[in-house]
Amino acid sequence: MIAIATMAKSYKEAQSYLTPLLLVAIIPAMVSLLPGVKLNAGMALIPIVNFSQLIKELMLGDWSWTGFTLTLLSNLIYAAIAFAAAVRVFNNERILFRT
- The whole-angstrom separation of Cα 12 and Cα 57 is 38
- The whole-angstrom separation of Cα 60 and Cα 32 is 13
- The whole-angstrom separation of Cα 49 and Cα 57 is 12
- Beta-carbon contacts of residue 52 (< 8 Å; ≥ 6 apart): 28, 29, 31, 32
pLDDT in tens, 45-64: 988 899 999 998 999 898 89
85 has a pLDDT exceeding 80: yes
Which of 5, 1, 18 shows the shortest CA–CA distance to 96? 5
Q: What pLDDT band is residue 74 in, cutting at 50, 70 and 90?
A: very high
